[in-house]
Amino acid sequence: MSDDRDEVEVDEDFVAADNDEAEAPVEVAKTNLSKRRTIDNLLEERRLQRDLADYDFDL
């Protein structure tokens, strides 16, 4: 049986193979906010158009 105090060998020269993720540029918060506002505006416009289409103009 192994002793609880056995030392584990650690390879300190290990380099992660997924370095592509670390090098990806981080988007600026303003850009994300701008995209979110654009999406919100499009959704609001779609909702309003749906409400207009459902409105009965022949009162």
Matching residue, tokens 């609880």: 4
Query: Is 30 a domain residue?
Result: yes
The amino acid present at 51, given as its one-letter code, is: D
pLDDT of residue 3: 57
How far is the C-alpha of 18 from the C-alpha of 24, rounded, in Å?
11
How far is the C-alpha of 54 from the C-alpha of 37, rounded, in Å?
26
Q: What is the mean pLDDT of the chain?
A: 77
Query: Is 3 a domain residue?
Result: no
Query: Is 40 a domain residue?
Result: yes
How far is the C-alpha of 25 from the C-alpha of 19, rounded, in Å?
12
Mean pLDDT of 43-58: 88
Residue 29 banded pLDDT, cuts 50, 70, 90: confident
Expressed as residue numbers, the domain containing 45 is 26-54
Mean pLDDT of 22-37: 79
Number of domains the chain is built from: 1
How far is the C-alpha of 59 from the C-alpha of 33, rounded, in Å?
42
Lowest model confidence (mean pLDDT) among 11-15, 26-30, 32-36, 53-57: 11-15
Q: What is the pTM of this model?
A: 0.46
